[in-house]
Structure formats: C-alpha cells, structure tokens
Amino acid sequence: MDIRQISEDYSVSGQIAPDEVAAIKAAGFKSVICNRPDDEQPGQPSHDAIQSAVEAAGLTFRYIPVISGQMTADNVVDQAAALDELPGPVFAYCRSGTRCTNLFAAIQQMKS
C-alpha cells in the first residue's frame, strides 16, 4: 500500500485489502472513502468487504464510486460532503489513487 498525503487531513492510495485496514488505523486515519466501483476488475475486494473491516476497526466508511475517466459534478459534491462530515484524517482509495486525487483537486476549485 502506497499512501500519498494530499493535504494535512487527506491521503490516497490504490486498492486496499481488508487485511490492510489495521495499518490504516495505525497510521492515524479515522475514516476511509472508497472511490472505486465494485467489479471494476476481476478479483478486487468489494466495498462491502472493505467496509466490514473498516467498521470492525472502529473507523468510519463512505462509498462514493467514481467511474474511471467519468468523474461527475455529483461525485465532487458527494466527496466534498463526505470530507466535511467524516472525522479526519481521511484515507481514500480507488484503483491507483488518481480518482481520489482528482476529486480533491476538483473540490478545491469548487471552493475557490
């Protein structure tokens, strides 16, 4: 897992597995956002499997799937709302971390 810090309270990575949630918690994250749609690639863990591990670890989970290359205004609004509502710091993941990063950049543009 390659965690990339985007801001003081927001970091991203590529796809995680349920057994990596303990390391996410140990790193100090309080919430996890999944930006990857289920079944995007054969064999990827479902958001339900990740959500179960996240919640079992005492963290908060949000599912905001974004289709690769097709980020919508609703996706940006939903991610912004999640970042306002969720306890931080927040860890977000998708296939590579790019969608999570692009969402954050779009939120910053929306706020300015």
Domain ranges of the chain: 4-111
Q: Say if residue 111 is exposed, middle or buried (CB neighbours under 10 Å; 0-12, 13-18, 19+).
A: exposed
Domain 4-111 has CATH 3.30.450.20: no
pTM: 0.96
Query: What is residue 110's predicted lDDT score, i.e. its pLDDT?
Result: 82
Upper half-sphere CA count for residue 53 (Cβ side, 13 Å):
18
Mean pLDDT by 10 residues, the chain (112 residues): 95 97 98 97 95 98 95 96 97 97 94 78
